Amino acid sequence: MLTPLELDIMKAVWQQPPITVREVQQAIRPARKLAYTSVMTIMDRLYHKGFLTRALRARTHYYEPAVGYTQVRDEAVEMLVKSFFGSKEKLKEFLEETPSNFLPRAVSETSAQSVLDETLL
């Protein structure tokens, strides 16, 4: 899973590979005013995580995506669904029901427990 900053950098790489750190810095500059070294550090981390490949040409690293946009998007959506609903089927149930009727079991049990605890005080 990518952080919001990593995702912004990856979007710049997906749009115009191969790309240099300076070009990424300029591409994300309107939204994020980051120093060259900050962008370079994040891109180096993305390279070591396996999200980017890089090639050295004339003392400059050129980066390309090692992972496609759709793969990153699909994994993020899957993680979101699992975190909030547990499965695609539970998400479908949620979308078909009124949202106020849907509360994951662990949360509803916690709410009932807190009411019980207050009565014991």
How high is the pLDDT of residue 23?
A: 98
Q: What is the pTM of this model?
A: 0.75
Domain residues of the chain, as ranges? Answer: 4-65
* Euclidean distance between CA atoms 57 and 54, whole angstroms: 10
Identity of the residue numbered 81:
V
Predicted confidence (pLDDT) per residue in 32-56, tens digit:
999 999 999 999 999 999 999 999 9
CA 117/CA 76 separation, integer angstroms: 37
Please say if the pLDDT value at position 99 is more than 70: no
What the block records as the tokens of 20 is 């240099």
Q: Which parts of 1-121 fold into alpha helices (H)?
A: 4-15, 21-28, 36-49, 69-84, 88-96, 105-120
The model's confidence at residue 1, banded by pLDDT at 50, 70 and 90, is: confident
CATH architecture of the region 4-65:
Orthogonal Bundle (1.10)
